[in-house]
Structure 1
Amino acid sequence: MTSDVDTALPDTPGFARVGSVYYPVLVAVFTALVIISNVTATKGVAIGPIITDGGFIVFPLTYVIGDVLAEVYGFRAARRAIVLGFVMNGLAACAFWVTVYLPAADFYPNQEHFANVVGAYTQLIVAGLAGFIVGQTINAWAVVKIKEHTKEKHLWARLVGSTFAGQLGDTLVFCSIAAGAIGIHTFSDFATYTALGWFYKTGVEVVMLPITYRVIAYVKHHEPTYTALV
């Protein structure tokens, strides 16, 4: 008789099973970062000529965690984390709207401001979830497909290649829906917002490569079910 850990997905060579302590921790961090980035994204930000939103602070880190999940656990395990992040963001949006419609206490002066933020958050949730599903799926798929050809070599190619493709899909979808929510209405501002978002998020992941390498190496080394793909 096999245990749940023994039968946990995936069980193909080159990937670990998801039954250890590391997978749920990575998924928890991944989901938290997605929710935080969607909340901070409700504020449009202008830094000189650069137009972006507050999500730029932590959102690129979701792709770092996504790379770790796909590289160590495979596409199906990464997709499970993506779906969980999607569901929890939907739950957050529902909880915020229920709170908006609850009767405000007499001493609470910020009902209108809270409703405005939740309204923007909801549009950003739609944008974020659409971009998130597209981008993270492309990212995880690219990591796994490149790994099939490179085996354990050229990790940098998997990380950079998947980021380039995933962030492009994510940014195009997200910015197309989110621009109006943060006050972007002209094509030039939209083009700047989209291009800089893509360059910035891709650049952050490239800068984070040494850290991503170390995290992946640590998890692979300590994951008892991980078997190198040779």
Structure 2
Amino acid sequence: MTDKAGIHPKYFEYCYVAFVAFLLLSNIAATKLIEVPTPWTNLVFDGGAILFPLTYILGDVLTEVYGLARARKTIITGFALSILASLTFWLVQLAPPAADWHNQEAFEAVLGFVPRIVAASLGGFVVGQLLNSVVLARMKQRWGEKNMWTRLIGSTLVGEGADSLVFCTIAYYGIITGGTFLNYLIVGWAYKVAVEVVLLPLTYAVIGAIKRAEPAYSPQAWAQREAVRAAR
């Protein structure tokens, strides 16, 4: 996949694959709710919290380095493969179990819940990730390469907030209610934002390393893009 100047990105495919893989794994892990006691209150979150924040970091990398169009294509791919995974688990659940296989209930208890998780994930994912990418891209258009930390954190606050609200409501509203649901919603959003803030130095390092390695960010590429613009 080359850009308008005919330059092929070196590391886009790796970010693309990692993003989709983290999303699919998070959808399965999110079928389990985890409760951690603290001196003040018990914190409730789902297993998807382990990997899912990394999809936002990768989304930032994709948008910051490769642009909104490629980030959007990656998000749509993750969306489509999540639907395929959900459909596969549903069909396997419906298929008659072998006579000597006695784990049907266990399978249904875990992977049978995946379609609802995937529906929640898709709703939150589309809203949250697209908002994250759009906010990041718009801020970059306004400020250029400077103030990257404000773009990364600002887009995460918006994207993760929308994602958490949609996901928690579709996935667990009615299963958990009242204070537990609010706990789950707030803790999930705060945790995901905190992960991005804590890993911000790593995100900076990754983005910087990829930009230095990508031909599209070389002085020759900048001159080539300027020549393309001038020729229009």
Q: TM-score, normalised by structure 1?
A: 0.89
**Matched residues, percent identical?**
42
Residue identity in the other structure for 1:202: V
2:60 corresponds, among 64, 67, 70, to: 67
Runs (5+) with no aligned partner, structure 1: none
Distance in 2 (CA, whole Å) between partners of 1:80 and 1:198 is 25
Query: Is contact 2:44–2:184 with CA below 8 Å preserved after alignment?
Result: yes
Aligned to 2:201: 210
Cα deviation, 1:36-72, whole Å, max 9, x if unaligned, reads 1110000111111101111111110000000000001
Aligned to 2:140: 147
Query: Is contact 2:124–2:165 with CA below 8 Å preserved after alignment?
Result: yes
> Bigger CA drift: 114-123 or 212-221?
114-123
Distance in 2 (CA, whole Å) between partners of 1:169 and 1:31 is 20
Larger radius of gyration: 2
Aligned to 1:40: 29
**3-state SS in 1 of match to 2:216:** coil
- What RMSD in Å do the two structures reach over aligned CA positions? 2.0
Q: Are 2:104 and 1:111 aligned?
A: yes
Q: How far did 1:6 drift?
A: 4.9
Aligned to 1:222: 213
Distance in 2 (CA, whole Å) between partners of 1:180 and 1:134 is 18
Query: Is contact 2:62–2:71 with CA below 8 Å preserved after alignment?
Result: yes
**Aligned residues between the structures:** 217
Q: Are 2:184 and 1:187 aligned?
A: no
Matches within 5 A, 1:113-128: 113-128=106-121
1:54 corresponds, among 34, 47, 52, to: 47
Residue identity in the other structure for 1:75: L
Distance in 2 (CA, whole Å) between partners of 1:221 and 1:90 is 36
Q: How far did 1:94 drift?
A: 1.0
Cα deviation, 1:123-167, whole Å, max 9, x if unaligned, reads 110000100000000100011111112211111011000001100
Distance in 2 (CA, whole Å) between partners of 1:192 and 1:102 is 37
Distance in 2 (CA, whole Å) between partners of 1:202 and 1:150 is 22
Q: TM-score, normalised by structure 2?
A: 0.88
Runs (5+) with no aligned partner, structure 2: 226-232
Distance in 1 (CA, whole Å) between partners of 2:102 and 2:196 is 41
Distance in 2 (CA, whole Å) between partners of 1:141 and 1:106 is 52
Aligned to 1:91: 84
